[in-house]
Amino acid sequence: MPTFAVTYTYSGSSSQQRDETRPAHIEFLQAQFDGGQLLKSGPFGPEESPGALLIIAGQSKADVEKLMNQDPFHQAGLIQERTIRQWNIFFGAGQN
């Protein structure tokens, strides 16, 4: 199954709303992880611009976009920019 790198960029002014929405966001991500579609995810470090990287297994870019549209952060309008790019893993293929 193809792998996709999804990046989120948050606006600095959405911090409080993200804190309020985070439990639903984590519940959504946990369900994707438990189902095997979310392979890795996490926020960028404190010295970076606010955002996150998610590694998703999916049939197509359109399928991953449809899935990520269900993220409560997306539905609440808390993601300033989102990219979805197919990632062809060379080293570490088959490792989670």
By DSSP bridging, strand 3-10 and strand 79-87 are antiparallel
Mean pLDDT of 31-43: 97
Structural domains in the chain? 3-87 (3.30.70.1060)
Confidence band (pLDDT; 50, 70, 90) for 7?
Answer: very high
Mean pLDDT of 66-93: 95
Q: What is the pTM of this model?
A: 0.91
Residue 51 CB contacts under 8 Å (≥ 6 apart), including other chains = 7, 8, 9, 10, 43, 44
